[in-house]
Amino acid sequence: LNTSASANLSIGIAGPATGASGTLSSYTISATNSGPQDTTNIVMTVTLPANYSFGPGSYACTSTGKTVTCDAGTLLNGAQASLPVQLIWNTADAAAVISASVASDLPDPSLTDNTSAVQIVVSTGTNNGNNDNDVPTLPQWGAILLAMLLTVTAARLQPRK
């Protein structure tokens, strides 16, 4: 039994700093083991803002209110585990915060990098001068492509002169 075993874990959040009401935003929560030992029973906890919808990642996750807890298993020395988080912003908030933390069975010599938080500005979805709303949503793209397909199909079915 190695009583001096430790693993320096850290966590980070990557994704857009802005969002619009009714749109989907993707974030990645990444836990890293900087060693010196491999560690087991990695748990990532993510606290999500109010007025969101959450899509689960590839780990065994449970959700209670705004808190999502995911078992990331074993993390080897130098390895990283990533949890994709997709949020649908249901309403506009002046500022929403996503926070995350990571823990394991082993002592961590540096706890300051075991938590992370990012602030996201969520707008109403109206054009705010940056033309974000000029990009069609996924359902709109589907309707555009279907209309194009029907137009091409109808043109091909016309008798040739």
pLDDT in tens, 114-148: 999 998 888 876 544 444 555 667 777 777 777 77
pLDDT tens, 28-49? 899 999 989 999 899 999 998 8
Q: Tokens in use for 128? A: 């705010």
Q: Tokens in use for 126? A: 């109206």
Q: What is the mean pLDDT of residues 46-73?
A: 77
Contact 108, 6 (CB under 8 A): yes
pLDDT at 95 (0 to 100): 76
Closest to 31 in 3D by CA, of 144, 137, 113, 148: 113
pLDDT at 114 (0 to 100): 95
pLDDT at 137 (0 to 100): 77
Q: How many helices (H) and strands (E) does the chain have?
A: 1, 10
CA 60/CA 56 separation, integer angstroms: 9
Contact 5, 106 (CB under 8 A): yes
CA 24/CA 52 separation, integer angstroms: 10
**Contacts of residue 89, Cβ cutoff 8 Å, sequence gap at least 6:** 19, 20, 21, 22, 23, 25, 51, 52, 96, 122
